[in-house]
Amino acid sequence: MADREERKFAELPRDSIKVMAEAIGVDLSDDIAAVLAEDVCYRLREATQNSSQFMRHAKRRKLTVEDFNRALRWSNVEVVCGYGSQDNLPFRSFKDGELFFVEDREINLVDLALATNIPKGCAETMVRVQISYLDGKGNLEPQGTVPAAVQSLTEDLLKYYQQVTRAILGEDQHLMKVALQDLQTNSKIAALLPYFVYVVSGVKSVSHDLEQLNRLLHIVKSLIQNPYLYLGSYIKSLVSSVMYCILEPLAASINPFNDHWTLRDYAAMLLSDILWAHGDLVSGLYHQILLSLQKVLADPVRPLCSHYGAVVGLHALGWKAVERILYPHLSAYWSNLQAVLDDYSVSNAQVKADGHKVYGAILVAVEKLLKMKAQSHAVPAECSASEGRAEREVSPGLSPLQEPLSELGFGFASHILQGGPGVPSEKPVPVPLPTMYNELYDFFGDSLAVRFSTGPGIRHPDGRVTISDRLFQPSDIKKEGCGAGSGNSNVETTRKMPQLTASLSISPRDDGSPKLDPTPQSCSSNSISARSASFHCSSSLPRSKSSSSSRQGQRSAPRDVFQKSRFTHSQATVPHLSFLISGRQMGRRCQGRRFQTSFPRLHPASSSQAARGYAHKLPVIGRMVKPIKRWVCSEYSLHLPL
Amino acid sequence: MAAIPDGPVKSETELEVKPDSVNDIAGNPNVVQGIGGTPKTSPSVAATVASVTPPDITDRQTLLAVLQFLKKNKLLESEETLRKESGLCLDNEEQSGSVDGGSVCATGDAEGSDASLLSRVSGVTSAPAAAAVTGAPVPAKVTSATSAGDDQPDVSVVLSAYSQQGDPALYQVYYSGLKKFIESVLDCHRAELSQVFYPLFVHMYLELVYNQHEAEAKDFFDKFHGDQECYYQDDLRVLSGLTKKEHMKGNETLLDFRTSKFVLRISRDSYQLLKRHLQERQNNQIWNIIQEHLYIDIFDGMPRSKSQIDSMSGSLAGEARREANKAKVFYGLLKEPEIEVPLDDEDEEAENEEGKPKKKKPKKDSLGSKSKKQDPNAPQQNRIPLPELKDSDKLDKIMNMKEATKRIRLGPDSLPSICFYTFLNAYQGLTAVDFTDDSSLIAGGFADSTVRVWSVTPKKLRGVKSAADLSLIDKESDDVLERIMDEKTASESKILYGHSGPVYGTSFSPDRNYLLSCSEDGTVRLWSLQTFTCLVGYKGHNYPVWDTQFSPYGYYFVSGGHDRVARLWATDHYQPLRMFSGHLADVTSTRFHPNCNYVVTGSADRTIRLWDVLTGNCVRILTGHKGPIHSLAFSPNGKFLASGATDGRILLWDIGHGVMIGELKGHTDTIYALKFSRDGEILASGSMDNTVKLWDATKAFDDIETDDFTAATGHITLPENSQDILLGTYVTKSTAVVHVHFTRRNLLLAAGSYNP
């Protein structure tokens, strides 16, 4: 052995020779085998040495099978066929004993011949010239690391880019889907990444057009799901675009007919996706996002839709974010919301509708928080819950929490929160669950209790709703002012809850927060089984309407406006109940409330310039970086123009 | 001068031909040179041999061999005479099979090569017979190798020299005894005497192996191989794989080692020291090896230092003998033909700037005067017949001169810009690149046997129309030359199919009408760039051809390959005009001297040889590289040579004196491309390590003080100034640099294929 190492070349054991001889039917004595083995080794070494010459002259560093075969041929030895593949031929070991072999799979030629994916030939060999160094001066750093953005694009790529952007932003729905699908799977578009990021950053110029915004967000989704792309620092730019959609009072939201809520939900979902998949790319990203969400939430001057965005954003980031940001802030915020909700004046209708949206969002977030919290301290939670059960008739609610179902999404955000780089280690003040529950109950009353209690049943593994068939309720609210305490609950209390459903179902790995399990608080008196049967909501408007009408006789509660909030769950088969809290009122515009007065129109919808217009501008790297920096350091940087 | 006690050395040129190339030699009378030193007729051999009486054992064996040889060649009369004179009466049967058995040993390493040549020419013996002629010390030791039937007769003869043996157990004692002695001598001698170690080690090891003392051989190797210089590692690896007598047959490396004497340069004092020591100890084993296998070139004067020795050694067969580099080399440039430069163009330019005409005139004069005055070092104008200039050539020359006036003067402060030509999607493997002199075309040779030509100017490549189309052309029209070109098939690139193996070398003719390519399939092909078809396939190398190059005046070209022979061809001859044989391993690169009178070849035996095209003689042997030489470049004035090898070092040589004048370290991998700028101020080198480096050639050449002593002995002390001479390192995007080229205006072009 030592000898072998010292000599540094392969040696063939005598046994191998004997085995080979046996294979061709010759019986060798040991002596002959030994002599043969030695000779074979020598010939192999000789051939190897000769083959290295062919490698050197081919100006390669890697010795190929072909080189070896040439050496064999020139020494009048038959070449070895069948090993010309460029791929590695790994030695596999046989399980028992020290037997190694090269896997030699049988290939069905018929399949190969009839295969439809005929491989294309390689691209044409060509020569390209560039001036590498001028007057002997150039960048002395290795040029291999040139950022992707300054790589000159080949014509093919440019064409691809134009086609794809045109398809996505164009009229044809089918084409858009195909383009998005390709964007999601294409492995060769790394060079185009900055261009697409730039296109996405066009959100700020199309804030009047929900459709376009939606499509741009879809681009983001495709990009982050493409496994071949390394987003790197572009992640910041993408996040800032998404945050814009979540938080900004979009021009489109002036018109109450526009369902910008859905857009915000979707964007929040995207945000969680980004953090989930790429949160580690930029240190402190999570923290920065939390910070800006908090700022929006804490700013009473902002319109309600921004607050809504902040809440769903926090919700999307996970229950820990909710606990850290939303929960401590709730009491302060509550008074404002209360004021809005309690104003029954007609002029306030619109704002109030918005307020209900926010209310619903908070409710959902808080509910999630409680559930996760309960789960994380399973045992103490149950104890406390059982106490609460006795007191507050929430009894049936807590026990199912321990069901593993809700673990599905348990904590991407908590993972980031704890382990993410740059996130300060300050922990939220640990509030014991009962205390928290009590506090929250003060705000939400029974609606919380009811929702809380019904949690686990809803989550349906297949609950996937694509954005296209998402629930869209144009205007099913007739009135809203009269909702409180009215007996005719199904009509007046049909309020659309924020469509968190969408985000839930699209990202099932999300921590299950938007478990919108709408049971009216009256249900608390019902049996569990009855409630669990009622979880399912329709995924289409008519169904929800009809089902909403089916549910009756809700007991009015302090916040009975919300009591019948229902959420769509995509188990569309059994549309049981859907009480909708609508966040929208048709035909009424109310202004003059402070939520509305401060509505900043930073980007008037006047600019009809579609994002498509950006498609042809070549982005400069510096431009990609700038807004991120601003976003980091300035307060409301999100809406700073690029 | 010659120190071998046996006698003077006659031929300095060795002819060593591999078996399979014999047929070429047979068919080619040009090869006659190189055999000059050996006896011409067999009777004279017999006479010489006969004169050595009384025969001792060795001579007796020799005699037997000669007799056998004479018999075989039907020289019965001579045989009779010799037999009588020597008083021997022997059974011939006994000898014939005895070569292998070792009972009769051919100790001489020279052969009656003329006879074997004769037999080859007349076709009596079959191909495998080959002659290995080395410097024949004494005619007395003559042995015939032509025993048909044995596969490799000469090899066994050569090897049989090892059959003399002592006690195998004593080899280690001998060697370590010598080692102890050399370590104990004065410092100044130690370095010189240490040179003996390596050849001695190899030969002792081979003797042990040959005499089938495998265990002792292994012990011997294990014990002492660590002492050898690191640059012999590659050879030692080959050697270590060789453990049986059977292996020694057909091992080329070994054959080289055996057939050529290892050359050492040792000062007289050191040599005496060694000799005295060996004689005192009666250490015949070693002394025999030194006498048999080593050539010790003794010089008077100071012993050399370790660094001096290291810089010159490293080749397969030791250093070059000093007398090998004595021949005069006409390294000067040829007089340029006088061409009237049409003045009107110049005047147009002169109008642009006032200062220019004044500057230009003296320049032109200087150019003119230079070409008028005959360079004392230049060969006669018609020493090598050169093709006449055509009109198009003259036009090109004029263009060249015009470009030259716009040339940027390079220097350490004004470095050239670099353009990199990247071959994309070259999955098949780019193996060779060449640019035309005017940088309008680029050719790539690929491992998939194709040659591809690209136009690097907007002008597309056009072929001539087909015959049918050509007949339709109005042949009287003025622009007939334009009309014959096929505009339809014009394209940016053309692919030339014809080879059946990887293309290892490409070269454009100076007039851009032809392209040469050489390949693994053993042929050199000439392609027309008018029709983009193959015109000729030159078959002569029976083995892969590694490199080829057109002469700077066209018409001639040189090729070199695995058969260790470089060949000189003319495009209109299907057989080579000259064969330059002498390298002990593959000829890996070939270049023409700018004056077309010399050819330089670099080889895997780690030597560079300069050959005279006129006589076919080897006029320079340059040793010092530690790896196969893959790139060569002459300075534009023809005085200097740069060479790059796999060891990543560039060596600079003075052709006139035949001495090394510089060593440029910096590259970390094989240097595949070398080129001097048009004025010779900058040397550009491209390497596998993905860099282009620029070197200050002026400084490198100026720093050398060539006093008479160094010029006479070649014992140069190299300054360690690589870092001062290095002007810049330029990194590519993971692209190995295969070729570098200076345009006429001194823009540096580099080329390589991107292989992620």
Of A21-25, B242-246, B497-501, the range with the lowest mean pLDDT is: B242-246
Written as six digits, the tokens of B575 are 């057989």
Residues 6+ apart with CB under 8 A from B524: B516, B517, B518, B537, B538, B540, B541, B545, B548, B557, B559, B569
Residue (of A272, A401, A376) closest to A323 by Cα position: A376
Q: What is the pLDDT of residue B153?
A: 45
Q: What is the pLDDT of residue B155?
A: 54
Cα–Cα distance for residue pair B607/B623, rounded to 1 Å: 5
CA atoms within 13 A on the CB side of B639: 12
**Cβ–Cβ below 8 Å for B544 and A54:** yes
Sheet of strand B748-753: strand arrangement: A126-133, B418-424, B748-753, B739-742
**Cβ–Cβ below 8 Å for B414 and A135:** yes
Interval A541-550 mean pLDDT: 40
End-to-end Cα spacing for chain A: 68
Other beta carbons within 10 Å of B211: 18
Interval A382-389 mean pLDDT: 43
The Cα angle at residue B443 between residues B438 and B447, in degrees rounded to 5: 160
SS3 A262: helix
Residue (of A421, A413, A417, A414) closest to A276 by Cα position: A413
Partners of residue A53 in chain B, C-beta under 8 Å: 562, 586, 604
- Say whether pLDDT at A180 is over 50: yes
Question: Is B502 at the interface with chain A, CB within 8 A?
Answer: yes
CA atoms within 13 A on the CB side of A39: 12
CA B17 to chain centre: 14
> Exposed (0-12), middle (13-18) or buried (19+): which is A365, by Cβ within 10 Å?
buried
Comparing alpha-carbon positions, the chain B residue that sits nearest to A125 is B425
- Band of residue B381 on the pLDDT scale cut at 50, 70, 90: confident
Written as six digits, the tokens of A139 are 């960048």
Residue (of B205, B268, B274, B211) closest to B235 by Cα position: B205
| Pure H helices in B186-251 | 187-194, 197-210, 214-224, 233-240, 245-248
Residue (of A179, A169, A257) closest to A213 by Cα position: A169
Interval A145-162 mean pLDDT: 63
Residue (of A347, A346, A550, A585) closest to A474 by Cα position: A585
Interval B143-165 mean pLDDT: 49
- Band of residue A138 on the pLDDT scale cut at 50, 70, 90: low
Comparing alpha-carbon positions, the chain A residue that sits nearest to B236 is A7
Written as six digits, the tokens of B68 are 């056998």
What torsion, rounded to 10 degrees, do the Cα atoms B353, B354, B359, B362 define? 130
Q: What is the pLDDT of residue B591?
A: 94
Question: Is B566 at the interface with chain A, CB within 8 A?
Answer: no
Closest in A9, A54, A74 to B241, CB measured:
A9
Q: What is the pLDDT of residue B45?
A: 39
Minimal Cα–Cα distance from B417 to chain A, Å? 4
Q: Answer for the pair B293, B262: CB distance below 8 angstroms, yes or no.
A: yes
**Cβ–Cβ below 8 Å for B417 and A126:** no
Residues 6+ apart with CB under 8 A from A412: A272, A275, A276, A318, A509, A510, A511
Query: Strand B294-299 to strand B262-267: parallel, antiparallel, or no bridges (unpaired)?
Result: parallel
- Say whether pLDDT at B553 is over 60: yes
**Cβ–Cβ below 8 Å for B427 and A7:** no
Q: What is the pLDDT of residue B501?
A: 92
Higher pLDDT, A547 or B736: B736
**Cβ–Cβ below 8 Å for B415 and A136:** yes
**Cβ–Cβ below 8 Å for B419 and A131:** yes
Whole-number percent of chain A with pLDDT over 90:
1
- Say whether pLDDT at A455 is over 70: no
Interval A388-401 mean pLDDT: 38
Question: Is B435 at the interface with chain A, CB within 8 A?
Answer: no
Kindly report, residue by residue over A224-250, the tens digit of the pLDDT. 888 877 777 788 888 888 888 888 887
The Cα angle at residue B57 between residues B51 and B62, in degrees rounded to 5: 55
- What predicted TM-score, i.e. pTM, was given to this entire model? 0.57
Q: What is the pLDDT of residue A192?
A: 80
Q: What is the pLDDT of residue B504?
A: 95
Single-letter code of the amino acid located at A342: D
Of A559-573, B291-305, B322-336, B361-375, the range with the lowest mean pLDDT is: A559-573
Minimal Cα–Cα distance from B736 to chain A, Å? 8
Tokens 């009656």 belong to residue:
B112
DSSP string, B340-351: PPPHHHHHHHHH
SS3 A9: coil
Q: What is the pLDDT of residue A533?
A: 38
Q: Which of A254-263, A395-404, A612-621, B353-362 has the highest mean pLDDT?
A: A254-263
Mutation target for B interface from A68, A125, A145, A152: give the one with most B CBs within 10 A.
Answer: A125
Comparing alpha-carbon positions, the chain B residue that sits nearest to A10 is B241
Partners of residue A127 in chain B, C-beta under 8 Å: 421-424, 442, 444, 454, 456, 493, 751
Of A71-80, A280-289, A516-525, B157-166, the range with the lowest mean pLDDT is: A516-525
Q: What is the pLDDT of residue B706?
A: 58
Single-letter code of the amino acid located at A293: L
Kindly report, residue by residue over B624-636, the tens digit of the pLDDT. 999 999 999 999 9
**Cβ–Cβ below 8 Å for B734 and A128:** no
Interval B23-44 mean pLDDT: 40
**Cβ–Cβ below 8 Å for B646 and A126:** no
- Band of residue A543 on the pLDDT scale cut at 50, 70, 90: very low
SS3 B596: coil
Strand partners, B579: B567
- Say whether pLDDT at B228 is over 50: yes
Kindly report, residue by residue over A409-450, the tens digit of the pLDDT. 333 334 433 433 433 444 445 667 777 777 777 777 666 655
Q: Which of A490-499, B11-20, B125-134, B644-653 has the highest mean pLDDT?
A: B644-653
Minimal Cα–Cα distance from A190 to chain B, Å? 16
Kindly report, residue by residue over B163-214, the tens digit of the pLDDT. 556 677 778 888 888 888 888 888 888 888 888 888 888 888 888 888 888 8
Q: Which of B311-315, B333-337, B423-427, B639-643 has the highest mean pLDDT?
A: B639-643
Question: Is B373 at the interface with chain A, CB within 8 A?
Answer: no
Interval A117-145 mean pLDDT: 64
| Pure H helices in B73-228 | 76-86, 92-96, 98-101, 113-122, 153-160, 170-184, 187-194, 197-210, 214-224
Question: Is B747 at the interface with chain A, CB within 8 A?
Answer: no
Cα–Cα distance for residue pair B373/B98, rounded to 1 Å: 66
Partners of residue A133 in chain B, C-beta under 8 Å: 417-418, 730
Cα–Cα distance for residue pair A352/A370, rounded to 1 Å: 26
Higher pLDDT, B578 or B132: B578
Partners of residue B736 in chain A, C-beta under 8 Å: 59
Single-letter code of the amino acid located at A407: E
Q: What is the pLDDT of residue A378?
A: 60
Closest in A59, A136, A144 to B672, CB measured:
A59
Which DSSP state fits A570? S
**Cβ–Cβ below 8 Å for A124 and B425:** yes
Tokens 């857009």 belong to residue:
A263
Q: What is the pLDDT of residue B58?
A: 57
Q: What is the pLDDT of residue B685?
A: 94
Q: Which of A373-382, A480-489, B264-273, B299-308 has the highest mean pLDDT?
A: B264-273
- Band of residue B549 on the pLDDT scale cut at 50, 70, 90: very high
Higher pLDDT, A375 or B742: B742
Question: Is A123 at the interface with chain B, CB within 8 A?
Answer: yes
Partners of residue B425 in chain A, C-beta under 8 Å: 122-126
Written as six digits, the tokens of A61 are 């560093």
Q: Answer for the pair B256, B238: CB distance below 8 angstroms, yes or no.
A: no
Cα–Cα distance for residue pair A253/A305, rounded to 1 Å: 8
Question: Is A10 at the interface with chain B, CB within 8 A?
Answer: no
- Say whether pLDDT at B675 is over 90: yes
Comparing alpha-carbon positions, the chain A residue that sits nearest to B493 is A126
Residue (of B741, B231, B752, B329) closest to B507 by Cα position: B741
Cα–Cα distance for residue pair A144/B687, rounded to 1 Å: 17
The Cα angle at residue B744 between residues B741 and B746, in degrees rounded to 5: 65
Q: How many CB pairs under 8 A join A and B?
A: 138
Higher pLDDT, B283 or B637: B637
Is the Cα dihedral B83, B86, B89, B91 positive or negative? negative
Q: What is the pLDDT of residue B358?
A: 42
Mutation target for B interface from A76, A127, A131: give the one with most B CBs within 10 A.
Answer: A127
Comparing alpha-carbon positions, the chain A residue that sits nearest to B454 is A127
Cα–Cα distance for residue pair B2/B5, rounded to 1 Å: 8
Partners of residue B734 in chain A, C-beta under 8 Å: 144
Other beta carbons within 10 Å of B287: 17
Interval A582-589 mean pLDDT: 39
Q: What is the pLDDT of residue B299?
A: 83
Q: What is the ipTM of this complex?
A: 0.74
| Cα–Cα separations (whole angstroms), residue B41 to B31, B51, B73 | 18, 16, 12
Single-letter code of the amino acid located at B606: R
Question: Is A156 at the interface with chain B, CB within 8 A?
Answer: no
Which DSSP state fits B47? H
- Band of residue B108 on the pLDDT scale cut at 50, 70, 90: very low
Comparing alpha-carbon positions, the chain A residue that sits nearest to B631 is A57
> Exposed (0-12), middle (13-18) or buried (19+): which is B186, by Cβ within 10 Å?
exposed
> Exposed (0-12), middle (13-18) or buried (19+): which is B411, by Cβ within 10 Å?
middle
- Say whether pLDDT at B160 is over 50: yes
Minimal Cα–Cα distance from A48 to chain B, Å? 11
- Say whether pLDDT at B220 is over 90: no
Minimal Cα–Cα distance from A194 to chain B, Å? 21
Instruction: Return the exposure string of B719-735: e unless at least 16 CB atoms fall within 10 Å of the residue's CB, then b.
Output: eeebeebbbbebbbbeb
**Cβ–Cβ below 8 Å for B244 and A133:** no
Of A38-52, B320-334, B711-725, the range with the lowest mean pLDDT is: B711-725
Partners of residue A45 in chain B, C-beta under 8 Å: 241
SS3 B695: strand
**Cβ–Cβ below 8 Å for A125 and B428:** yes
Q: Answer for the pair A520, A551: CB distance below 8 angstroms, yes or no.
A: yes
**Cβ–Cβ below 8 Å for A49 and B238:** yes
Query: Is the backbone peptide bond immediately before B303 cis, with ω within 30 degrees of 0?
Result: no
Question: Is B629 at the interface with chain A, CB within 8 A?
Answer: no
Minimal Cα–Cα distance from A74 to chain B, Å? 8
Of A190-204, B120-134, B496-510, the range with the lowest mean pLDDT is: B120-134
Question: Is B431 at the interface with chain A, CB within 8 A?
Answer: yes
**Cβ–Cβ below 8 Å for B734 and A144:** yes
Higher pLDDT, A586 or B179: B179
Considering chain A, what is the average pLDDT of its residues?
A: 63
Interval B316-328 mean pLDDT: 81
Residue (of A466, A566, A476) closest to A521 by Cα position: A566
- Band of residue A36 on the pLDDT scale cut at 50, 70, 90: confident
